[in-house]
A = this chain, B = another copy of it.
Amino acid sequence: MDASLLTIQPASAEPIYRQIVEQLRRLIAGGQIAPGDLLPSVRDVAGFHAVNPMTVSRAYSLAESEGLLERLRGKGMAVAAVKRATQSQVQRLALLEPQITALARQARELELPAEPVLRRLGKLLEE
């Protein structure tokens, strides 16, 4: 796996370390990185994205404590083998539930009909 697989938006309100953890969670759930795959080193990620190494380290540690990653002494961090194989579609959809619910609520506050929202999202999903 390569440092360029991660997307980091320093200007976002979401803290950087959480951007990393959440992306790892989804990349693993979606199977784009598989159990045993070695992650890029803290230094590589920090250098590539111009963020503080401590921030990356913190993200990795958090992911490790969640069981997403495991530390291979002397080699680095890898995707955890146990219990973290690709999940079913239903499970993966469930991970998006909070975001979908929030979007629906906001569309209602805007008095937007369903159709244009679905059309826009559909378009982005097909790219």
Residue numbers of A with Cβ under 8 A of B are 7, 16, 22-23, 26-27, 29-32, 52, 62, 65, 73-74, 89, 92-93, 95-97, 99-114, 116-118, 120-122, 124-127
User: A107 to nearest B CB, angstroms?
Assistant: 6
Chain B residues in 8 Å Cβ range of A62: 65
Chain B residues in 8 Å Cβ range of A65: 62, 65
- Is the CB–CB distance between A109 and B74 below 8 Å? no
- Is the CB–CB distance between A99 and B106 below 8 Å? yes
- Cβ-closest 4 pairs across A and B: A30-B111, A26-B109, A104-B124, A114-B125
List 21 A–B pairs whose Cβ atoms lie within 8 Å, in order of A's numbering: A16-B73, A26-B109, A27-B109, A30-B110, A31-B111, A32-B111, A52-B74, A62-B65, A89-B116, A93-B110, A93-B112, A93-B116, A96-B106, A99-B102, A101-B124, A103-B121, A104-B121, A104-B124, A104-B125, A117-B125, A118-B121
Residue of B nearest to A125 (CB): B114
